[in-house]
């Protein structure tokens, strides 16, 4: 019975482009990261700040195989690093909050 249910869920997912929550949920791909960076630029981030954000996330998009996207877990790890290492970048607390809000619109 379990295998039949899994096959049915996969079929529905493929047919209707549904991301099933038990498969990890929504992820951010390279095109969506470009949109996020563009929104950050329009919201007042400097070119340097946008470049910093790009550098922090681009590694996850360059991985091989199915891990070529950024999921909530990976985003959380990077966000924790950003918040815990404020001396290693120029992002302000309000910019970090804007980054978080903007990114979570896509996750």
pLDDT (mean) for 76-101: 94
Query: Rounded distance, CA 69 to CA 106, Å?
Result: 12
Tell me the whole-structure pTM to 2 decimals. 0.72
Q: Tally the domains of the chain.
A: 1
**Does residue 34 sit within a domain?**
yes
**Does residue 8 sit within a domain?**
no
Instruction: Look at residue 16 and tell me whether its pLDDT is greater than 60.
Output: no
Output the CA torsion 95→100→102→107 (10° steps).
170
Least confident range from 10-24, 76-90, 93-107: namely 10-24
The residue range of the domain holding 94 is 25-104
**Strands (E) located in 31-105:** none
Output the CA torsion 52→56→57→63 (10° steps).
130
**Does residue 43 sit within a domain?**
yes
**Does residue 19 sit within a domain?**
no
pLDDT (mean) for 79-88: 94
Query: Rounded distance, CA 59 to CA 95, Å?
Result: 21
* CA 12 to each of CA 9, 19, 100: distance values in angstroms, whole numbers, following the listed order: 5, 10, 31
Query: Rounded distance, CA 28 to CA 35, Å?
Result: 10
**Does residue 89 sit within a domain?**
yes
The 10s digit of each residue's pLDDT in 26-54 is: 889 899 999 999 999 999 999 999 999 99
């Amino acid at each position: 019975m379990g295998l039949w249910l899994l096959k049915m869920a996969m079929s529905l997912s493929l047919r209707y482009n549904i991301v099933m929550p038990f498969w990890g949920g929504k992820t951010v791909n390279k095109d969506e990261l470009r949109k996020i960076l563009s929104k950050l630029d329009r919201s007042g981030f400097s070119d340097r700040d946008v470049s910093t954000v790009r550098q922090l996330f681009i590694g996850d998009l360059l991985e091989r195989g199915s891990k070529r996207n950024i999921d909530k877990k990976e985003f959380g790890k990077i966000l924790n690093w950003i918040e815990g290492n404020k001396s290693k970048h120029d992002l302000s607390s309000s910019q970090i909050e804007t980054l978080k809000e903007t990114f979570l619109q896509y996750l």
